[in-house]
């Protein structure tokens, strides 16, 4: 990997970026349009398998936040695979988080912080701070507790 503050921060945090995941349905992992790159939704994974559960039933907020943090790592892995270098990211623009929740669970925003906080820590506040939405949903694909997609602005080629 390229030596830079971003990759140094990942190393300090003990984070190894995963390879690009193979899509499991009819979509591509990312699409670039101009200086924007759109990453498809990434499901929470634990030990290489979908992290299954529902917030408010069998997953607590802290565990959901850890799942969202794991997604941030996968999202950065996809960005790295798409761009070849995370230094090409000029801004994390927006996240959309879908939290598999019971009807009375109201801490989707706290769960999503797991992803948001790690992106801001790795990229720094000027690049990593972003707009976002956090929704409670009745179900995610394969029973995943959290799914997050991302839009980033990147340097022109």
> pTM, whole model, 2 decimals?
0.96
- Predicted confidence band of residue 1 (pLDDT cuts 50, 70, 90): very low
* Mean pLDDT, range 37-63, rounded to an integer: 97
- Of how many residues is the chain composed? 157
Listed residue (109, 72, 67, 103) closest to 89, CA to CA? 72
* Mean pLDDT, range 49-75, rounded to an integer: 98
Tell me what the pLDDT averaged over the chain comes to: 96
Block residue for tokens 């970026």: 17
Residue-wise pLDDT tens digits, 137-152 = 999 999 999 999 999 9
* Mean pLDDT, range 26-40, rounded to an integer: 96
* Mean pLDDT, range 81-90, rounded to an integer: 97
- Greater pLDDT, 62 or 22: 62
- Predicted confidence band of residue 15 (pLDDT cuts 50, 70, 90): very high
> Which phi and psi angles does 29 have, rounded to 5°?
-70, -30
Q: What percentage of the chain carries pLDDT values higher than 70?
A: 98
In angstroms, the CA 14 to CA 112 distance is 21
CB of 72 within 8 A of CB of 119?
yes
């Amino acid at each position: 990997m390229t030596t830079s503050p971003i990759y140094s921060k990942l190393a300090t945090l003990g984070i190894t970026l995963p390879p690009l995941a193979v899509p499991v349905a009819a979509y591509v992992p990312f699409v670039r349009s101009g200086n924007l790159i759109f990453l498809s939704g990434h499901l929470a994974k634990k030990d290489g398998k979908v992290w299954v559960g529902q917030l408010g039933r069998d997953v607590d907020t802290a565990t959901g936040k850890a799942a969202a943090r794991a997604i941030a790592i996968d999202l950065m892995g996809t960005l790295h695979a798409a761009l070849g270098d995370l230094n090409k990211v000029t801004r994390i623009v927006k996240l959309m988080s879908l939290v598999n929740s019971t009807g009375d669970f109201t801490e989707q925003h706290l769960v999503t912080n797991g992803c948001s906080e790690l992106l801001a820590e790795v990229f720094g506040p000027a690049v990593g701070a972003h707009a976002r939405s956090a929704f409670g949903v009745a179900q995610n694909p394969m029973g995943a507790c959290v799914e997050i997609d991302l839009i980033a602005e990147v340097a022109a080629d």
